[in-house]
Structure 1
Amino acid sequence: MREHLATLGVVLRKVMDRELPSLGPDWWREGVLLKLSYQQRATADENEWSSLVDLDVAALLRVVDGNWELLRRRNIVKWEARNWLKEAGSARNRWAHEVPGREPGADRIYRDLDTLALLAEAFLPGSAEAKQLADARAEALAALAAAPAADAAESGPTTPAVPVSDFAPGVVVRVKARPELTGVVTQVVESGSQLRLTVFHGQLTQTYYESQVEPVESRSGEHVSAEDLKVRLTAAHVLHPSVSRLYSLNSGRIEYEPYQYRPVMKLINADRPRLLIADDVGVGKTIEAGLIIKELQARQKLESILVICPKPLVVEDKWRRELKRFDEDFAHLDSGTLRHCIDETRAEGRWPARYRKAILPYSLLDEKLLLGDDTGRRSRTGLVSLMPPVKFDLVIIDEAHHVRNSATWSHRVVKHFLDSAEAAVLISATPIQTGSEDLRTLLRLLRPDTFVDNQAFDLMREPNAHLASVESAIRLAGEGWQRAALKELAGALETSWGSRVFRADPRAQEVRDLLDQDAVSDRDRVKALRIAQSMNTFSGLINRTRRRDIGSFTTRKPETFEVDFTPEQGAVHADLLDLAGRISTSKGHGQSLDFVLSTLQRQAASSLNGLAPFVEDLLQHKLTAEELSEADAEVETLEASALEAFVAEISEIADRAGALTEDPKLDRLLSYVDQKRQLPNNKLLLFSTFRHTLRYLLSNLEATGVRVGLVHGGVPDDERRELRARFAKDKGEPDALDVLLSSEVGTEGLDYQFCDALVNYDLPWNPMRIEQRIGRIDRRGQKSETIAIKNLVVSGTVDAVIFDRCLSRIGVFRRALGGSEEILGELTREIRQIGEDLTLSDAERAQRLQQITDNKIGRIQEQEELEERESALFGLPLKKLDEEGIEQAASPWLAPDQLARLVKRYLLDQGYERADSLFDRPISLLRPSKEVRATLADDLRAVAPESTSPWSRWLAGGAEQSRRLTFDPSQADGDDVELLSPVHDLVRASAASQAAFAADSTVALRVESKAVAPGLYPVAIHAWTYLGARDDFEVVVTSAEDALSADLATLLVAAQDSATSSELTAPSDLEDLHYLSWTDARSAHIDRARSHVESQLASLKTTHQARVELVEDQIAGASHENIRRMRESELRSVEDDFSTRSERLEATIARSDVTTTLLCAGIVEVVYGQ
Structure 2
Amino acid sequence: MFTPHQSAYFAHWLTQSGKVENQVSKVIASARVDMNPHQIDAARFALKSPLERGVLLADEVGLGKTIEASLVIAQKWAEGKRSILLVVPASLRKQWNQELWDKFELPSTVIDSKIAADFKKQGFSNPFEQQDKIIICSYEYLAQKKEYSLRLDWDLVIFDEAHKLRNLYSKSGSKRAKSVVEATEHAQHRVLLSATPLQNNLMELYGLSQVIDPHFFGDEKSFKALYVNRKKNSDALEDLKERIETLCHRTLRRQVQQEGGINFTNRYSITQDFTPLPEEWDLYQQLSAYLQNPENQAIAPNAKHLVSIGLRKILASSSFAISDTLKGMVKRLREKQQVSEDSISDIDTADDWHDIDFEEFVNSTQATNRLEYEIEQLNSFQKLAESIEVNAKGEALLLVLRRAMESTESMGGQRKAVVFTESCRTQIYLNNLLEKNGYKGRTVLLNGSNNDPQSQAIYKDWIEKHKDSSRISGSKPSDMKAALVERFKSDDADILISTEAGGEGINLQFCSLLINYDLPWNPQKVEQRIGRVHRYGQKNDVVVVNFVNRKNPADQRVFQLLNEKLKLFEGVFGASDEVLGAISENLDIEKRIYEIYQKCRTDQEIEQQFNKLQDDLKDALEVREEATRQTLLNHFDRDVVANLKNQRDKNKIFLQDYERVLLDLAKAELPEAVFVDNHFQYKGKRFDIRWSLAEQNDSEFFRLQAMEHYLAWELVKKAKARQLEPTHLTFSYNQLEGRYGALQPYIGQSGFIQVVKLVFSYNQGKEKDHKLFALAYTDNGQPDGGQRLTNENAEHLLCIPATAEPFVDELPKQAFATQLEQLLESQTLAKADELDQLYEVEENKLDRWKKDREASYQITVDELNNDIDLFKKETRKLASTREKIEAKKTLRKLERKRDDAMTAFHEARKRIEKEEDEMIDSISAKLELSCQTDIIFTARWTLNA
Does structure 1 residue 630 correspond to structure 2 residue 346?
Answer: no
- C-alpha displacement at 1:469, in angstroms? 3.1
- C-alpha displacement at 1:768, in angstroms? 0.6
- C-alpha displacement at 1:265, in angstroms? 4.7
For residues 1085 and 426 of structure 1, the distance between their equivalents in structure 2, rounded to whole angstroms, comes to: 23
Aligned counterpart, 1:923: 678
AA at the equivalent of 1:300: G
For residues 703 and 626 of structure 1, the distance between their equivalents in structure 2, rounded to whole angstroms, comes to: 27
Q: Is the 8 A contact 2:349 2:422 kept in 1?
A: yes
Q: 2:123 aligns with which of 382, 393, 409?
A: 382
AA at the equivalent of 2:75: E
- C-alpha displacement at 1:605, in angstroms? 3.4
Task: Pick the structure with greater CA Rg.
Answer: 1
Q: Which runs of 5+ in 1 are unaligned?
A: 1-227, 329-356, 373-380, 472-487, 927-957, 996-1005, 1009-1020, 1038-1050, 1100-1141, 1161-1170
- Tell me: CA distance 1:294–1:722, structure 2 relative to 1, closer, same or farther (3 Å): same
AA at the equivalent of 1:819: D
- C-alpha displacement at 1:866, in angstroms? 5.7
Q: Is the 8 A contact 1:594 1:836 kept in 2?
A: no
For residues 661 and 292 of structure 1, the distance between their equivalents in structure 2, rounded to whole angstroms, comes to: 54
- Tell me: CA distance 1:635–1:913, structure 2 relative to 1, closer, same or farther (3 Å): closer
Aligned counterpart, 2:392: 664
For residues 386 and 430 of structure 2, the distance between their equivalents in structure 1, rounded to whole angstroms, comes to: 14
Aligned counterpart, 2:421: 688
Q: 1:605 aligns with which of 284, 302, 316?
A: 316
- C-alpha displacement at 1:766, in angstroms? 0.7
Aligned counterpart, 1:255: 34
SS of the counterpart of 2:119?
A: helix
AA at the equivalent of 2:532: R
Q: Which runs of 5+ in 2 are unaligned?
A: 333-338, 362-366, 459-480, 725-740, 744-755, 774-789, 797-814, 853-916, 936-945
Aligned counterpart, 1:532: 244
Does structure 1 residue 369 correspond to structure 2 residue 118?
Answer: yes
Show CA shifts across 1:22-54 (max 9, x none): xxxxxxxxxxxxxxxxxxxxxxxxxxxxxxxxx
Q: Is the 8 A contact 1:686 1:759 kept in 2?
A: yes
- C-alpha displacement at 1:371, in angstroms? 1.9
Show CA shifts across 1:637-694 (max 9, x none): 5889798465544544554444345643222112224556787944332222234443
Show CA shifts across 1:1064-1092 (max 9, x none): 99x99999999999997776665556678
Q: Percent sequence identity over matched residues?
A: 17
- C-alpha displacement at 1:312, in angstroms? 14
Q: 2:517 aligns with which of 743, 755, 761?
A: 761
SS of the counterpart of 2:514?
A: strand
SS of the counterpart of 1:562?
A: strand
Aligned counterpart, 1:712: 447
Does structure 1 residue 749 correspond to structure 2 residue 510?
Answer: no
Alignment of 1:449-528 (within 5 A): 449-450=184-185, 469=202, 502-503=217-218
Does structure 1 residue 1149 correspond to structure 2 residue 904?
Answer: no
Aligned counterpart, 1:334: none
- C-alpha displacement at 1:360, in angstroms? 5.8
Q: 1:776 aligns with which of 532, 537, 558?
A: 532
SS of the counterpart of 2:924?
A: helix
- Tell me: CA distance 1:818–1:434, structure 2 relative to 1, closer, same or farther (3 Å): farther
AA at the equivalent of 2:581: E
Aligned counterpart, 1:835: 594
Show CA shifts across 1:395-432 (max 9, x none): 153xx55x84469xxx97x9979966865676969996
Does structure 1 residue 266 correspond to structure 2 residue 62?
Answer: no
- C-alpha displacement at 1:251, in angstroms? 3.4
Aligned counterpart, 1:1028: 763
For residues 660 and 924 of structure 1, the distance between their equivalents in structure 2, rounded to whole angstroms, comes to: 59
AA at the equivalent of 2:134: V
Q: 1:811 aligns with which of 553, 567, 582?
A: 567
Show CA shifts across 1:139-176 (max 9, x none): xxxxxxxxxxxxxxxxxxxxxxxxxxxxxxxxxxxxxx
- C-alpha displacement at 1:767, in angstroms? 0.5
Aligned counterpart, 1:73: none
Q: 1:802 aligns with which of 545, 558, 562?
A: 558
- C-alpha displacement at 1:518, in angstroms? 12
Aligned counterpart, 2:16: 239
Aligned counterpart, 1:1107: none
SS of the counterpart of 1:383?
A: coil
SS of the counterpart of 1:384?
A: coil
SS of the counterpart of 1:557?
A: strand
- C-alpha displacement at 1:319, in angstroms? 6.2
For residues 233 and 872 of structure 1, the distance between their equivalents in structure 2, rounded to whole angstroms, comes to: 42
For residues 1159 and 811 of structure 1, the distance between their equivalents in structure 2, rounded to whole angstroms, comes to: 62
TM-score by length of 2: 0.57
SS of the counterpart of 1:744?
A: coil
- C-alpha displacement at 1:988, in angstroms? 8.1
SS of the counterpart of 2:273?
A: strand
Q: Is the 8 A contact 2:85 2:158 kept in 1?
A: no
Alignment of 1:96-175 (within 5 A): none
For residues 864 and 427 of structure 1, the distance between their equivalents in structure 2, rounded to whole angstroms, comes to: 27
- Tell me: CA distance 1:881–1:722, structure 2 relative to 1, closer, same or farther (3 Å): farther
Q: 1:823 aligns with which of 553, 560, 582?
A: 582
For residues 728 and 1063 of structure 1, the distance between their equivalents in structure 2, rounded to whole angstroms, comes to: 57
Higher relative contact order (CA 8 A, sep 6+): 2
- C-alpha displacement at 1:744, in angstroms? 1.3
For residues 554 and 828 of structure 2, the distance between their equivalents in structure 1, rounded to whole angstroms, comes to: 77
Alignment of 1:958-969 (within 5 A): 959=683
Q: Is the 8 A contact 2:419 2:498 kept in 1?
A: yes
For residues 65 and 142 of structure 2, the distance between their equivalents in structure 1, rounded to whole angstroms, comes to: 24
Aligned counterpart, 1:395: 134
- Tell me: CA distance 1:362–1:647, structure 2 relative to 1, closer, same or farther (3 Å): same
Alignment of 1:1044-1083 (within 5 A): 1053=792
- C-alpha displacement at 1:836, in angstroms? 0.8
SS of the counterpart of 2:511?
A: coil
Q: 1:593 aligns with which of 293, 297, 304?
A: 304
- C-alpha displacement at 1:560, in angstroms? 1.4
- Tell me: CA distance 1:1084–1:627, structure 2 relative to 1, closer, same or farther (3 Å): same
AA at the equivalent of 2:528: Q
For residues 453 and 150 of structure 2, the distance between their equivalents in structure 1, rounded to whole angstroms, comes to: 30
- C-alpha displacement at 1:279, in angstroms? 8.8
Q: Is the 8 A contact 1:1086 1:1153 kept in 2?
A: no
For residues 497 and 422 of structure 1, the distance between their equivalents in structure 2, rounded to whole angstroms, comes to: 14
Alignment of 1:970-1009 (within 5 A): 975=699, 978-979=702-703, 985=713
Aligned counterpart, 1:565: 276
For residues 601 and 906 of structure 1, the distance between their equivalents in structure 2, rounded to whole angstroms, comes to: 60
Aligned counterpart, 2:881: none
Q: Is the 8 A contact 1:248 1:291 kept in 2?
A: yes
SS of the counterpart of 1:560?
A: strand
Aligned counterpart, 2:617: 853
AA at the equivalent of 1:923: N
Q: Is the 8 A contact 1:310 1:363 kept in 2?
A: no
- Tell me: CA distance 1:420–1:316, structure 2 relative to 1, closer, same or farther (3 Å): closer
- The size of the alignment, in residue pairs, is 724
Kindly report the root-mean-square deviation, in angstroms, between the aligned alpha carbons of the 2 structures.
7.0
Aligned counterpart, 1:844: 608
Alignment of 1:211-360 (within 5 A): 239-243=16-20, 245-246=22-23, 247-252=26-31, 254-261=33-40, 262-263=42-43, 265-266=45-46, 269=49, 291-292=71-72, 295-296=75-76, 298-300=78-80, 322-323=102-103
For residues 270 and 15 of structure 2, the distance between their equivalents in structure 1, rounded to whole angstroms, comes to: 54
- Tell me: CA distance 1:549–1:635, structure 2 relative to 1, closer, same or farther (3 Å): farther
- C-alpha displacement at 1:765, in angstroms? 1.3
